Amino acid sequence: MKGFTVALLAWTLISPCKGSSGSGSREAWPTHIACRDGGLEMLYQSCDPLQDFGFSVDQCSKHLKPNINIRFGIILREDIKELYLDLALFSKGSSVLNFSYPVCEESLPKFSFCGRRKGEQIYYAGPVNSPGFDIPEGKYQVLLELYTENRSTVACANATVICS
């Protein structure tokens, strides 16, 4: 009986130790729905091993309007005086589109959140200057990455867009 107690004690003490060592393989972040409406479904999952983030798109539709409004919530792990977005679009496993877009630059901070610092929590609800277009039917994989001038990741998302 005594042995069992000690074993239990040992187990409870060891278990959190493993957690704090940070070496254990962590479950992937959950998949969230960015929008689901008008024949369009957008799902995403954070691919930053350190944290999840929140994202949603207003007025979801396969006839995407220009300058759509989004909501975005995240904790910054880097200063974002300079912030860049890389987007890679795949359809049926082959690459369709790749582009890189400066979001914040020292000479042109486009958004009011530019210049915020590491550790700040950001909530952005507002427009992104996107073009309007019709999304052809199909299933698309999108890889989005926000990073700083040192190529340090600010946010990373694996998204799936299903248009039916």
Partner 1 sequence: MMAPDISRFLLAVLFSASCRVIIASDQICIEKEANKTYNCENFGLSEIPDTLPNTTESLEFSFNFLPAIQNRTFSRLINLTFLDLTRCQISWIHEDTFQGHRQLSTLVLTGNPLIFMAETSLNGPKSLKHLFLIQTGISDLKFIPVHNLENLESLYLGNNHISSMKLPKAFPTRNLQVLDFQNNAIHYFSREDVRSLGQATHLSLNFNSNDIKAIEPGAFGSTVFQSLNFGGTFNLSVIFDGLQNSTTQSLWLGTFEDMYDQDVSSDMLRGLCEVSVESLNLQKHHFSDFSSTTFRCFTRLQELDLTATHLSELPSGIEGMNSLKKLVLNANNFDQLCQVNAASFPSLTHLSIKGNMKKLQLGVGCLEKLGNLRKLDLSHSDIEASDCCNLPLRNLSHLQSLNLSYNEPLGLQHQAFKECPQLELLDLAFTRLRVNPPQSPFQNLLFLQVLNLSHCFLDTSNQQLLAGLPVLRHLNLRGNPFRDGTIPKTNLFQTVGSLEVLILSSCALLSIDQQAFHSLRNISHVDLSHNSLTGDSMASLRHLKGIYLNVAANNIRIIPPRLLPILSQQSTINLSHNPLDCTCSNIHFLTWFKENLHRFEGPEDTLCTNPPSLRGVKLSDVQLSCGITALGIFFLIVFLFLFTVLLIFAVKYLLRWKYQHI
CB of 137 to partner 1, least distance (A): 31
Closer Cβ to partner 1, 64 or 76, answer by number: 76
Q: What angle do CA 19, 24, 28 make, to 5 degrees?
A: 105
Contacts (Cβ under 8 Å, ≥6 apart) of 15:
none
Which lies closer to partner 1 via its Cβ, residue 25 or residue 107?
107
Residue type, 134: D
Task: By CB under 8 A, name the binding residues for partner 1.
Answer: 1-3, 6-7, 9-10, 13-14, 17, 20-23, 50, 75, 77, 107-112, 114-121, 124, 126-129
CB of 126 to partner 1, least distance (A): 4
Q: How far is the CB of 76 from partner 1 (least distance, A)?
A: 9
Burial class (CB in 10 A: 0-12, 13-18, 19+), 80: buried
